[in-house]
Amino acid sequence: MQALIQWLSGPAVPNTFPYSPVLHEFHLSGKHFVDKSLLSLLDSARRTVAGQPPGSDDATSRELTDFLDVALDKWDGRYDYRSYLALRLLRLPCGAGEQTLGAQPADARRARDQLLVRLVADTLAFELAAAAHTTELLPQDRPGPEVVVKRCRLGIRAVTPALTRLGVADSIATGHPTVVAASLHTIADDLAGPGDPSLRLSMLPVHVTHDEYLFIRVLQGYECLFAGVADELRAAVTTLAGKTPSAAADRLGYASDLLRTAGPLFSLLATMRSESFRTFRQYTEGASAIQSRSYKMIESLCRAPQAERLDSVAYLSVPEVQAQVRGGQPTIDETYRSAVSDGRLTGAADILVQRQMAAFADALTQWRRTHLRVAVRMLGSRPGTGYTEGTPYLAAVSTLPVFTTVTTEKPGADQS
Ligand code: HEM
């Protein structure tokens, strides 16, 4: 607090902002319980930064503003899924004014792989530090040593495909999962470049329960994957509308792989104790992944949602996506159908695209089923934090067809 008062009484230069003491205060109680006087000072800091003329260090100033917006979401009455996960700080899709990772498609794929590896490596590093009693962060309900080993094993499995794509899978140590996890942390540190998003600023749990760290990082990891999948699907739509629609098969294949190989992330999350989850979720009301922009982009890029769903809480929770759908956002379903009816996609090329669409539909359906299973286990019959009745909503949406032109059951068969 003293450090913040001092900073405010000086020139308030963004790159000297006392992040560490502020984070420490938040971590002592959890964001939900932070002292109002600290929040008031942070609000003054935000006004001060907003009033400063644009300078040479705009990136630092933007990072500070984004951090303050995340720290003050409950104070402002704006707390939601995107602010809970600090998506803007991680440069993941979160609506207006967002900055994304990587300018070119290859850069974006690489940047997302790096971020995913860093997020998982960071959560395993936290598990190891807690087990070694070298951190006081989130001290409530620490897991036992067997769970820590299991988390290490599953976390490593979840990032192995990304490590392979990044060409660093061979650098990782072999042996006991905790040794491998420690080496993953070193590799992840090396992957981070000077302008990359700061992970430490993106961890503001609402409470002091140990497992909330894992929960936040797994959600952030999935957001990273969803953003990548949405990019691939957008490219598939453009390709299907162009001269060589068969090239969409590669983008669909990449998207399926991203979703499918991330399965161990759910297994990692499933190691969370449901009692721990229920403890911290008392303070996450209003933040639900029903507000995930990238997930709804994925769904609506595959095919246009029916009016009933578009008008429901599912899309009311993501107004920008709802507006894009209403504005006639092209879909894979529709561009595929046109490519076939125009005679641009025929024979073996058509079958190849159909197969990849069916594989993607399979991967997404599988994701939905796994999500439902984990949610039932953690939540039981309690309502969701996104104002649905909870798992009955998930059960209903898990059977929604991904495409209307191709189903998951009959890859290769023409059902249009
Ligand atoms: C403890 C684990 C989890 C539980 C209990 C859970 C529960 C729920 C519930 C009840 C909903 C319905 C909306 C609401 O009222 O909140 C929902 C929606 C959703 N969840 Fe989860 N969830 C969990 C983990 C995850 C993870 C790790 C992700 C990955 C990002 C995720 C992504 C989603 C998405 C995208 C939706 C919106 C689905 C739609 O609108 O069709 N969830 N979740």
Task: Tell me the CA–centroid distance for residue 5 and ligand 1, in Å.
Answer: 39
Q: Is 402 in the pocket of ligand 1 (CB under 6 A)?
A: no
User: Is the CB–ligand 1 distance for residue 291 below 6 Å?
Assistant: no
- The domains found in the chain, sorted by start residue, are 2-78 (no CATH), 105-397 (1.20.58.480)
pLDDT band at residue 175 using 50, 70 and 90 as cut-offs: very high
Q: pLDDT at residue 24 above 90?
A: yes
Q: Taking Cα atoms as reference points, which of 344, 364, 343, 349 lies closest to residue 407? A: 364
Q: Which of 271, 288, 294, 325 to mutate to test the pocket of ligand 1 (most atoms within 8 A of CB)?
A: 288
**What does the DSSP assignment read for 307-348?**
HHHHTSHHHHT-HHHHHHHHTT---HHHHHHHHHHTTSS-HH
> What's the whole-number mean pLDDT along residues 175-181?
96
Q: What are phi and psi of 99, to 5 degrees?
A: -110, 130
Residues 273-304 have pLDDT tens digits of: 999 999 999 999 999 999 999 999 999 999 99
Q: Find residue 140's DSSP bridge partners.
A: 209
d(CA 346, ligand 1 centre) in Å: 39
Does the beta carbon of 384 lie inside 6 Å of ligand 1? yes
Ligand 1 pocket residue status of 131, Cβ below 6 Å:
no
Name the average pLDDT for the chain: 93
Nearest CA, atom 23, ligand 1? 375
User: Looking at ligand 1, which residue's alpha carbon is closest to its atom 32?
Assistant: 289
Residue 295: CB atoms within 10 A of its CB come to: 22
39 Cα–ligand 1 center, Å: 29
Quick one: pLDDT at residue 383?
77
- Burial class, 175, CB count within 10 angstroms (exposed 0-12 / middle 13-18 / buried 19+): exposed
CA of 222 to the centre of ligand 1 (A): 11
**8 A C-beta contact, residue 124 and residue 181:** yes
Percent of the chain with pLDDT strictly greater than 90: 87
Q: Are 248 and 242 in contact (CB under 8 A)?
A: no
Does residue 371 line the site of ligand 1, with CB under 6 A?
Answer: yes
| Best CA proximity match to 138, nearest among 198, 70, 211 | 211
Which pLDDT does position 413 carry in this prediction?
A: 39
pTM: 0.96
- Distance from Cα 242 to the centre of ligand 1, integer Å: 35
Nearest CA to ligand 1 atom 38: 290
Is the CB–ligand 1 distance for residue 379 below 6 Å?
yes
Separation CA 401–CA 389 (nearest Å): 21
- pLDDT at residue 105, as a whole number: 82
Banded pLDDT at 193 (limits 50, 70, 90): confident
Q: Which two tokens stand for residue 196?
A: 């990359």
Cβ of 85 closer than 6 Å to ligand 1, yes or no, is: no
Q: What is the pLDDT of residue 407?
A: 75
Mean pLDDT of 194-200: 90
Kindly write down the DSSP assignment for every residue of 338-355, as one continuous string: HHHHTTSS-HHHHHHHHH
CA 292 to ligand 1 center in whole angstroms: 9
Ligand 1 closest atom vs CA 313: 40
Q: Is residue 414 pLDDT above 90, yes or no? A: no
Q: How far is the CA of 290 from the centre of ligand 1 (A)?
A: 6
Q: How many angstroms separate the alpha carbon of residue 365 from the centre of ligand 1? A: 14
335 lines ligand 1 (CB under 6 A): no
SS3 of residue 283 by DSSP: helix
| CB of 269 shorter than 6 A to ligand 1 | yes
Cβ atoms 325, 304 nearer than 8 A:
yes
**Ligand 1: centre distance to CA 367 (Å):** 11
Instruction: Report the candidate in 96, 1, 8 with the shortest Cα–Cα distance to residue 52.
Output: 8
